Structure formats: C-alpha cells, structure tokens
Amino acid sequence: MRSVGGVSLALVVACLLQLAGCAAPERPYNVLFIVVDDLRPELNVTYGHEYMHTPNLDALAAQSMVFDRAYCQEAVCAPSRNSFMSGRRPDTTKAWNFIDHFREPGVGADWVSLPQYFKNHGYYTWGGGKLYHPNLPPKNDEPLSWSQEIPYFPVTDEPCPKGTKTPFCSIDAPLDSFFDHRLSEHTIGLLEAAALNYTDKPFFIGAGFRRPHVSWRAPPRFFDLYNASMIATATHPTAPSGMPDIAFTTEGAADIHHWPRAYGPNDPEPHDSQQLLRRGYYAAVSFVDEQIGAVLKALDHYGLSNNTIVSLNGDHGWQLGEHGEWAKHTNFELAARVPMMVRVPSKPQTAGKRSSAIVELIDMYPTLAELAGLPTPPDLNGTSFAPYFDNHTMPSLKDAAFFQFPRCPKNLSRMWDENICLSVPRTEFYSMGYSVRTTQYRYTEWLKWNGTRLHGEWSDVVGVELYDHAGDTGTDFNAFENENLAAEPSMQAVVKEMHVLLVKNYGE
C-alpha cells in the first residue's frame, strides 16, 4: 500500500503550510476517527493514572479537548458500535446482542451511517479494523459506508497460543504478527495515499484498534513496563452492598478464558491473580498506545495535521476486579464510562483543555459533522457537543447520559451466572437494566422484558440501584458505587426524580 515513489507537489505544499503555521484550507476538514476496543479511562496524565505508560495518548490529549464524563450506550462491543456508528440509541437500533444490527429491514436499512454521511458529502471514506463489530452489520454495508478505491481492512482475532491458561501472553515475534501493528501500517498507508494520490477531496479515515480486548497479547517489552507485585488492585473487590443480584454477572470470566474465576458477587480473585490480570491489560494498553502514536506521527509527516480533526474514544469501559467484575457487560460506572478526546486544528485554544460536561458516544456523529463544517445530520439521537470547543467550561448541553444492558439468567436463584444475552434472541430477554447518569447519581431500574414490544415493563421491576457520585472527579476507580442507596428513605425523592428521567428518555 505504501508507495516508494517521489513526493508530490501537493505534499510539499501541505508540509510548507504546516511549517508556516498557515490556516487550514477552506474546504471541509479531514477526519481521523480512532476507536479503541475495551479501553477504560485509565491512562497516564490524560486521566491522572501516572503508573500507566501511555505517552502517545497523553501527547494527543495535550493537543485535544478531553471529555472527563463520556459514556457509551451499552457496555459491550456490537450494540455500542451499532449505536455510535448510526448515531442512535440501542432502543432505536434494536441491536442489544451479537445477533442483530441496525441495517435489518424494518429498522434502519436506509439510515446513513457516520462514515456514509461524510461519503455522501464528498469525502473519501476509508477504514480498517474494528469500527463495527465484525459482520454486525454484515459486509454488504461496506459499499454504503466506505469508498471502494481502497478496500476496507478487516479485523482479525489473535488469541494467545493454544494451551495458554491465561488471558494474557507475552509474544516475542515480529510486529507484523500483531493485528494492531498491521492496522497501524494500513492506516499510515491510507494517510500516505490521501497526501500523494487522492488530493481532490477531503478524507474520513477510521481505525478500530483491537487491543486491549482479550487476549492481552503483546511483545515482552510492554509487559516489562509493569511490575506485577507493585500493581494496586481493587479496593472493593466484591459487589456493592444492597446490590440486586441481576446487576452482577460472571460472564466476564468467559472473556478471560481458562483463568480460575470466582462464581459469585462475593468471591473475588486472589490479590496476586488480580495483579497479573491487570499487568496483562496494562501491557496491551501500552502496546496499542505505540501503534496509535505511529499513526499520529504519520499524520504530521504527511503534512495533514493542520487540516485534520482527530477523535479518539473507547467503545465502552472495562472492569478490572472492581466489585468483582472482570469485563464490561454491566451498567457500573467503569463499564459505561469511556475515554474521549478530540483535536480540532481550527480551535488551538482548546488544546489541553478538559470538559466535565456529560457527553455520550452517540454524540460523536453530529459533533464530527459540525466540526468538519458539514450540515447538521437529521434524525439522530445524539447531540453535537461542538459548542464546547468555543467554551469548554459551559454547562452541560444535556442533563444526563443513558445506557442499558439486557439480562438472560439461566438460573433465577443465581442470576449472575452467564446472563448477558449476547446469543439470545431479543424477543427472549429476561430483563433490561435502564440506567441514567446525572452529575451526581447513577440510577438503574431492571425491568421485566416484554419480548413483543421489545421494551421493559415499568410496572414489573426486578431490581433498582442508586449510587451517589458526589465528589467523583473520575480519577478514583474505587471510591464510588459501593453502596446501593435505592431503598434508603432519605433518597426516595431522588429515586422518583431519576425514574422520571428514565421514562422521559426511554418512553412508556
């Protein structure tokens, strides 16, 4: 893909413009859209976790506006990606599992996806990796979303070697044997093509990095960055007091494969096991940080930084033993909250600024369109947060974030056993947990599912949660959601207020 020929006049001009600090061209901005699988906001200076080795993400954050309170709409890959790639909530996409997708007839076959919107407005749209979950929607979406001059670079899975009894593995092998490195090289090739051969139109380039999704597979030098014996573990490794059983899941143990696992909300992993698991996750984060850094360096090298918006976010969070959880698959804060940063060349005054406003992943679609100078996309559930780039301290444009998760317990006496519904038809769910996250509270109602209406029944409540986040700056992953306050007499006014917000957002 990457050429070895001479440098074009367009590239020379672009480089000279960058060196001279000239304004970006009047045509719409390019967009580099980066999504990182299972990335939680546990980064170095970006989110206040200095033990993390994430120099490239931290450098990007120093040039971007960082959003401290960004949330996905469902904390698992396929539904989340169907949601933010369409700009619509899961209750609109009808995609809550690993079976359905928004392109189905009767749902959103004619919707315009995020990359498709840019394509329809004269952009080259190229991509690779895990942007959608593989085959959800199926491959026939590609001609709609992606320009066909350069084929889409599909994601491939890379498990640890057969027989590995852990979800992590240190692999001393050429970098080309790692998918995320190949994706980085492919994305660099796309930037080179945009600078050398496809200069007539702006571009939207998407890159969906696979790590730190399990397996945590990385070269040894990334494991060497972390001493397992020095890694702090969850302060509260068991379920919150008063939590309804349906809020908990052991399904995350499937994500860590053959690792010895606990079988209930009050049976945490041993301390040394938690340290080893965290080391594997951290190594994978540092590995993907290096691959993203190579892409950002190429953006500079090809003279594209001054006219390219760069956005980066996770698809959902991840739990590393907090409350006994070891994946996503819940409505806990650490499953729903994601890192999010956006660098806008025309707004240099926002470099290094932080916003505490509540934003959601469905907001990325209209925001990137507005920042690029395109018309407002119609019929989306998201709200553009572009105004924050003119005033990063302005109040939140929305009162709350909303997210949800279905439950399908096989054993009602042990609701936490293998209960996340990913392979269960949506008509056969047992319950839906609807959550609202305001500035101070996270409130959830677990409702009995109506498989005909495809909605929870407000009159049939399976469980209720209320957690106080007063004083939560987002840097302490242990201090909050440790006590369910939903039954406290003094909190009933708050419960009623949160219920009204849920009904207003999700409908009757």
The values of phi and psi at residue 14, to 5°, are -60, -40
User: Each residue of 359-369: b (16+ CB within 10 Å) or e?
Assistant: bbbbbbbbbbb
What is the spatial distance between Cα 40 and Cα 213, in angstroms, rounded to a whole number?
11
Q: Is 499 helix (H, G, I), strand (E, B) or coil?
A: helix
Q: What angle is formed at CA 239 by the lines to CA 233 and CA 244, rounded to 5 degrees? A: 160
- Helix-then-strand count for the chain, H and E: 13, 14
Bridge partners (DSSP) listed for residue 431: 407, 448
Listed in order, strand segments (DSSP E) in 374-418 are 401-407
Element (H, E) at 502: helix 492-506
How many CA atoms within 13 Å lie on the side-chain side of 174? 3
d(CA 71, CA 58): 20
Backbone Cα Rg of the chain = 22
Any idea which residues carry the catalytic annotation? 77, 133
Six-digit token pair at 406? 């279905």
Instruction: Pick the closest to residue 82 from 134, 152, 142, 158 (CA basis).
Output: 134
Cα–Cα distance, 469 to 415 (Å, whole number): 26
- How is residue 227 written in tokens? 């001493």
d(CA 408, CA 97): 11
